[in-house]
Structure 1
């Protein structure tokens, strides 16, 4: 029978906080764990590294995986922008664990990623934690679905209090400041993933009639900028304010669907708009013929989307524990409290042990394809 434990501690002394957290989580498992994941938020990268080493010393024989971050999740709480440690332990009978560490090497005129293990027939998912400042995470995730035979990836981009140079990754007793670390997980104990993008569509669905790379030139035969301008003018004042805070665009996952509503899109940021050529710059590649729909995000729509997806997942699965990767733009920046996402997971799925961190980008599958997201909550769930 699977067993799970999680703990979150705070304090200026990160090493002491790490010891308290790992001992509490281990005590809840009551047996030698198979997998220990941990996440550390702290001002001093060297102290973060010491705290991570200390946690791994308490789990000999277990696969250990962790990273630095700017906020942690655990014990039904979320703590942002101060010293904190979250530890999650799991005893997973019948589950296979294959750790890997990724790095890049120069291969003629391009960088190649090395170190990924080939998934086996029992493998169900892989956790991936990466340093976003020097590892090509977007390209790796984009190519991962065909390269790994459809294996779902879930995880996040690590960070540190001082950005570049302060990221630390942990795996099986080692501390590294580059590349990516992870573990492939196989067996019946892995239930699957939940990805909540938390946006709601505004305006009609439209066909892309002209595009170049991530430049959206025409929608339904008209200037993309003009289409957006016309839509914004027609919106109620409340939705205009939401759009001004950050507008997104959804790319339909099923072109053959008769309707494209909330949850039917891969959501991407609109990162630029140029009225002279009439173009919009999207945070991903767009192609002629795709169906798109503009999107806005607020706490209400994010809560509704997460609740709906968790409820649907919970009707089909008996969840015992999970790892949660929430955007650092959610938490207290979006909701009244930073523990919104973890409390929703625990309440709706009945999972007692859920831990993770606030990521600088989240990794999770949408429509059977792995993607790097922003503003999402991505969950990897394990059976009770």
Structure 2
């Protein structure tokens, strides 16, 4: 069964004005509406409890999940660093979802619904970037769902990093688990492209041969900085400060059949000892490649991802959730809402909400500079 959805969004000076405008766009609610998604800018975070209470009272929907964000997303629209709110409600089959947090655990492994479906098949999650070992929490949660698949993002705010999960929460991981009765399609898009020797060539993948914590001493048996300079080319090699802002470390995911990789920042360059440091621990034998971020690479990869998921769907989705990195949006695509408009133009004018995250979650890993799209089909 495909759930029915409605959505609304608005920008206003205060949360009550934004909520009223969003609800007017959302009404009438789908018959049997029982789950809501709410994403709100940090301008409203001080009154998040009042906002949630108002939504429950006005809609009658008791289960809500969501997050604060420096930017809020809706179909064809992004609100970055401005007061805004995006809402979406769905009418899901009974027993097909369960909101969870540290105070309310998801269904136990192997549990079944009355229809015989897996009670915990996949999950939409929101996390606190300040929590210890967030990658470990994500991996642990992935083991609690049958598919092993999570999607979501880390809350982003200059103030309080809040999550919504039938209450206003701070810290850890929360969200909603769906049963296998709910059909979804999900894809990830990168905001950079691996460096290659030439057009049509395979990415230049190196092996760490000596390292300490997050410091790479040798790549392929050679000083790491020498290899880095060769890969980035003469212009960037002469301006390492600029290179450190444009170039990222890509860590290929073992056994990925799509060439997937995690992106981590360069956090240090030691010209005297010819070392580089990245924002993740490394081990001898680990593969690594260098990637260049930029608008052209992001647009190309987003278009590739959208065509891939459109081909798999064969029709317009019922609704969607999108989690984009804070470093994307107009910063990467060159115009406000260009990223969201690409999604709408390729897949249709369906209900979609989300936010600009401080880290994006896909499957069992934490990413950066990516967009994670999930469609209800």
Q: TM-score, normalised by structure 2?
A: 0.85
Once the two structures are superposed, residues 83-116 of structure 1 have per-residue CA deviations (whole angstroms, 9 ceiling, x without a partner) of 111001122347710111137xxxxxxxxxx945
SS in 2 for 1:12: coil
CA deviations on 1:190-229 (whole Å, 9 max, x unpaired) are 3232111221111422222223333222111111122112
How far the C-alpha of 1:285 sits from its partner, in A, is 3.1
Task: Answer whether contact 2:217 2:223 (CA < 8 A) is retained.
Answer: yes
Aligned to 1:184: 177
Question: Structure 1 residues 147, 94: closer, same or farther in 2, change over 3 A?
Answer: closer
Taking the aligned partners of 1:199 and 1:3, their CA distance within structure 2 comes to: 35
Query: Which consecutive unaligned segments of at least 5 residues does structure 2 have?
Result: 111-117, 197-203
Match of 1:283 in 2: 279
* 1:213-362 pair list within 5 angstroms: 213-234=213-234, 243-254=243-254, 263-317=259-313, 318=315, 319-350=317-348, 352-362=350-360
* RMSD after superposition: 2.9
Structure 1 residues 303-355: Cα deviation after superposition (integer angstroms, max 9, x where no partner): 11111112111111242211111111111221222323322222222351111
How far the C-alpha of 1:36 sits from its partner, in A, is 0.7
Q: Aligned to 1:102, what secondary structure does the other structure show?
A: coil
Q: Give the match's secondary structure for 2:318.
A: strand
For the Cα contact (< 8 Å) 2:109–2:144, is it kept in 1?
Answer: no
Matched position secondary structure for 1:280? strand
State the match for 2:200 in structure 1: none
1:134-193 Cα distance to aligned partner (Å, 9 max, x none): 454233124444465552111111133x43xx2322222x22333332111123433232
1:238 Cα deviation from its structure 2 partner: 12
Report if the CA contact (8 A) 1:26-1:89 is conserved.
no
When structure 1 is superposed on structure 2, of 370-379 and 142-151 the one drifting more is 142-151
- Cα distance, 1:155–1:119 mapped onto 2, change above 3 Å: farther
Distance 1:309 1:38 in 2: 25
Please give the alpha-carbon distance, in whole angstroms, between the structure 1 residues aligned to 2:214 and 2:163: 31
**Equivalences, count:** 360
Following the alignment from structure 2 to structure 1, what is the Cα–Cα distance between the partners of residues 330 and 256? 38
TM-score relative to the length of structure 1: 0.84
1:55 is aligned to 2:48: no
Tell me which residue corresponds to 2:16: 15
1:358 Cα deviation after fit:
0.9
Gaps of 5+ in 1: 104-113
**1:129 matched to 2:126:** yes
Report deviation, 1:267.
Answer: 2.3
Secondary structure, aligned partner of 1:228: helix
Q: Is the 8 A contact 1:126 1:183 kept in 2?
A: yes
Choose 41-50 or 370-379, whichever is displaced more: 41-50
